[in-house]
Amino acid sequence: MAKIGLRPAWPLWLSGIVAGLALFIAAIPLALVINRISAALPGQQEKAIIAIGVIFVLVLATPLAVYLLAARRSADPARIGLIVLATTGVLLVASYLYQVSFWVFYPGDFLIWSETEFVSDILKFRIGYPLYTDQLNNESFIYPPGAPLATYFISTILGNATSITFFRVVQLGYTLGAAAFAFLSFRTLMQLRYKDEDSPPSMPLSFLWLPLLFLVASNSLTNPFAHNLHNDAFGQLLAAAGYFVLVRYAATRDWRLLVFMALIPAAGFMVKQIVAIWAPLFVIYLGLFDRPRSIPRTLAVAIGGFGGIALAVGVGLLIWGGDFQYWIFQAAGNHPVSPVRSFQHVLDTWPYWSVGLIGGFILLRGRFSAQVFGLWAIWLVLFLGEAYTSGIGWMLNHLGPGSLIAGIWLAAGLTRLWNDEMPAMLGKLAPQRWLGYGIALAVVLLLLNGLGMFHLPIRPVSDDSIRYFNEVEAEFRGLPVDRVLLDSGSWYYLDNNTVMKDRVTSIGDRGYGQTGDFSGIIQRLEGKHYDKIMVRNLHLPKFWYESDTWAEPAGIKDAMLANYDEVKVIKGVEDVDRYLLGDVSVLVPKP
């Protein structure tokens, strides 16, 4: 029997993507059903969840019933388990889409700290204003502009050039794209693992992994900002594309893929600095694990990758000069890494370390492959690097791309275990097979929850959030837009083509890293430049303009209170514990 080729036909891959996308699309009407049930039972959350649960049970039972009626006595517990997993994936995606829709379609760009500057970059580009300016203006961001500009181009093409909500829809598109690349990596990895076998890998219903990998790409543990205006979603898309290029190269050694290896690091750098790590990752793989090893190929990718990053930096310096250097390197790079915090983040994300390590072990067991081992090692190096850099802060989103790639190894390891090894372990006795696959299915479903893939179909925020937005927006009326300072949120400035100084994200990033010169905002406060100022949580210790986490106070809060009176407080959103949805103090100049 002929051995498996290294270049599987693309129509086969396309059919898997199409089938997986069909499962994803099937979740959309289910999300609408959830929304209709919840709307019909306002204030009765428990009843709504019970009703939704009944619908879910019916949806889960339908494909099972169809299969059992068709198969009758020949019903296979392994196939039943896969049907349950596929249907569960659809239900979980529906729950996620319902829950996240309230954030995606929220009109204000202040759900997390990055949204304001993300929108500001789009605004600046629209009106031809420099993206990076003197730090005294406090109007620039510590990330490169790739993600907001790509979002703006896509939104403009689709007729939504200034829609905050559509910008968030685009982020979900990036996340789905990352899941698609992860799915292709999984299929290629399985092909590579079995390339010297006499029969192809057994992968019935493998398309079920596309919606499940989407849930990994948006998991609540390491990818909580997949729907927000942040550089994470596009950065994860490029990381997933980079890993697919690497896996595909390992399977085919197609020299044309080297071009993508040379381009991805520079593109990644222009989205988020850490994504440039793919330059050394590609070189490490080619230098240590490529078979046959090629020094010219390794050198070409090294020159292209590192040279591309240098070129990207050079273009940034040419356009924005020293301001680009300050914001992208000095302000962003002066956040100290806490090794203790990095280690704690490893412990916090133990489910992803576990599935990546165990999945790799299962796939490598029985026949060692330098290429497969190299791909697994590259994931591990990436994940370790992400864990280390996560020590600059308290959140786990730095580990998002590595978590998605761990999901690839989970899919590959579980596929081999389910289809190849469990049948041999369980034998042909029907009771033993049913019990074995039943237990395995229960463990996998519990594991999905541990990976942050379960989202209860409940509304995360009430209509009070719209009241909050409207009251904040009302404070702008009757005043020049550039004389009303809102700490976070750029939607009103976007609508009026006004670039605003002294934004809280710009100041908070540098205050924590002790890299900022805040004399500009202090002078404007002392000169009562603003007719009105709106700031959140003015009286809390972690007031972002002057947080107690800073090594030294900057004097911003003192200048604000010395020159402005608090005349009103807009009450924060009820039942939501988010800093940027908290109380807003309205300040006006002292007489």
The residues, any chain, with a CB within 8 Å of residue 559's CB and separated by 6 or more, are: 521, 522, 525, 526
What are the Cα distances from residue 18, in Å, to 10, 379, 387? 12, 27, 34
The residues, any chain, with a CB within 8 Å of residue 491's CB and separated by 6 or more, are: 107, 108, 109, 119, 164
Residue 344 to residue 336: CA distance in whole angstroms: 16
Instruction: Determine the pLDDT at residue 180.
Output: 96
CA dihedral over 147, 152, 157, 160, signed as positive or negative:
positive
Closest to 15 measured CA to CA, from 194, 199, 205: 205
DSSP notation for 163-185: -HHHHHHHHHHHHHHHHHHHHHH
Query: Which pair of tokens denotes residue 14?
Result: 């396309």
Whether a cis peptide bond, with omega within 30° of 0, leads into 292 is: yes
Query: What are the start-end ranges of the H helices in 41-112?
Result: 45-71, 77-104
Q: What is the pLDDT of residues 488-539, one digit of tens each?
A: 999 999 999 999 999 999 998 888 777 889 999 999 999 999 999 999 989 9
The residues, any chain, with a CB within 8 Å of residue 569's CB and separated by 6 or more, are: 583, 584, 585, 586
Instruction: Determine the pLDDT at residue 4.
Output: 41
Determine the angle formed by the axes of helices 45-71 and 77-104, rounding to 10 degrees: 150
Residue 65 to residue 87: CA distance in whole angstroms: 13
Query: Which pair of tokens denotes residue 559?
Result: 């200048």
Q: What is the pLDDT of residues 331-365, one digit of tens each?
A: 887 777 889 999 999 999 999 999 999 999 999 98
Instruction: Determine the pLDDT at residue 516.
Output: 86
Query: Which pair of tokens denotes residue 591?
Result: 């007489």
Question: Do 587 and 535 form a contact (C-beta atoms < 8 A)?
Answer: yes
Residue 260 to residue 238: CA distance in whole angstroms: 11
Q: Report pTM.
A: 0.94
Question: Do 398 and 273 form a contact (C-beta atoms < 8 A)?
Answer: no
CB atoms inside a 10 Å sphere around CB 191: 23
Domains of the chain, residue spans: 10-104+142-416+425-450, 464-589
Q: Which residues of the chain have pLDDT under 50?
A: 1-6, 8-9
Q: How far is CA 442 from the centre of its chain?
A: 27
Q: Residue 196, class by beta-carbon neighbours within 10 Å (0-12 exposed, 13-18 middle, 19+ buried)?
A: exposed
Query: Which pair of tokens denotes residue 55?
Result: 């619908």
Closest to 472 measured CA to CA, from 558, 388, 403, 572: 572
What are the Cα distances from residue 440, in Å, to 83, 417, 436, 437, 470? 14, 10, 6, 5, 50
Question: Do 90 and 23 form a contact (C-beta atoms < 8 A)?
Answer: yes
CB atoms inside a 10 Å sphere around CB 340: 8
Instruction: Determine the pLDDT at residue 199.
Output: 57
Instruction: Determine the pLDDT at residue 335.
Output: 74
In this structure, the strands spanning 532-536 and 484-486 are: parallel
Query: How many C-alpha atoms does 116 have within 13 Å on its Cβ side?
Result: 26
Question: Do 155 and 217 form a contact (C-beta atoms < 8 A)?
Answer: no
Kindly report the length of the chain: 591
- Cα angle vertex 381, ends 379, 383, to 5°? 65
Query: Which pair of tokens denotes residue 183?
Result: 């799915």
